[in-house]
Amino acid sequence: MFPILCFGQKPILFDSLTVSNEGIFMYNQQPFNGIAFANNKSGVLLYEKDFENGKEIKNRNYYAAITDSTPHLKFETQIKDGKRNGLRKGWYYSGKLKFEGHFKKGWNNGIYKNWYENGNLEKESFFEMGVKVGSCKNWSSSGKLIKDRYYQKTTPTSSKLVKRVKYLESGEIISKECWDTEGKNISCD
């Protein structure tokens, strides 16, 4: 199975690329522009990588099915300077969305969401350059809020959990705990 055409040329096997001393992917001694792909031993597509001027700009991985020859997209990642940068999405084998989040310079940055295969939201977190901040919520597979945590940024590279509330599926609070940024248990009121 051949990958989708892009950049106006036929995709090539990833193994036909070479890498320069500067880390540039080359094809026929020129920086590669286009799509490179790899298949498993059965010929099923495993991944595709998009290149521009010899640098990887997007990566798509596929489930390696043994009995199904149709490639099923597993995740897709935008790449800049060798790091995740931009939107990253993942899918279940069924094709339903599994996760979605934004990255900047390789770090989670912004809202990151996970879904159950039934389509209900499982988890939602917010990040600032890899640091979890603000509310982080979890839902049951039936769509009921079961946990809410709040993180406070303490330094540019860290945060502390300062509040956690757990719920029954009925919405009743099971437990509620709060801490100061030193980790000392405090009143939540």
**Within this chain, do residues 75 and 94 fall inside the same structural domain, yes or no?**
no
Q: Does residue 76 belong to any structural domain of this protein?
A: yes
Is there a domain that residue 173 lies in?
A: yes
* Beta carbons within 8 Å of 52's beta carbon, 6+ residues apart: 33
pLDDT value at residue 6: 44
Q: How far is CA 9 from the centre of its chain?
A: 28
Domain termination residue (choose one: 46, 80, 114): 80
- If asked whether residues 175 and 93 sit together in one domain, one would say yes
Same domain, 111 and 166: yes
Q: Are residues 43 and 109 in the same domain?
A: no
φ and ψ of 15, to 5 deg: -65, -15
CA nearest 122: which of 148, 136, 102, 141?
Answer: 141
Task: State which H helix or E strand residue 117 sits in.
Answer: none
Q: What is the pLDDT of residue 71?
A: 81
Q: d(Cα 23, Cα 12) in Å, to the nearest integer? A: 19
State whether 58 and 89 are in the same domain: no
* pLDDT for 42: 78
Q: Which of 150, 158, 64, 162 is nearest to 107 (CA)?
A: 158
Number of domains in the chain: 2
Question: What is the CATH number for 112?
Answer: 3.90.930.1
- Does 137 lie in the same domain as 52? no
Q: Are residues 89 and 167 in the same domain?
A: yes
Does residue 58 contact residue 49 with C-beta atoms inside 8 Å?
yes
* Same domain flag for 56 and 91: no
pLDDT, position 1 = 40
Residues 99 and 166 in one domain: yes
101/64 same-domain check: no
pLDDT for the residue 4: 42
Our separate counts of H helices and E strands in the chain read: 0, 18
Q: Are 35 and 50 in contact (CB under 8 A)?
A: yes
Domain that holds residue 51: 1-80
90 and 164 fall within a common domain: yes
* Burial grade of 178 (CB within 10 A; 0-12, 13-18, 19 or more): middle
pLDDT at 181: 86
The answer on 89 and 60 residing in a single domain is: no
Under a CB-based contact definition with an 8 Å cutoff, are residues 144 and 167 in contact? Answer: yes
Q: Is residue 189 part of a domain?
A: no
Q: What is the pLDDT along the chain (189 residues), one digit of tens a residue?
A: 444 434 457 999 999 999 999 999 999 999 999 999 998 887 888 999 999 999 999 999 988 765 667 788 999 999 999 899 999 999 999 999 999 999 999 999 999 999 999 999 999 999 999 999 999 999 999 999 999 999 999 998 999 999 999 999 999 999 999 999 888 999 997
The reported pTM is: 0.81
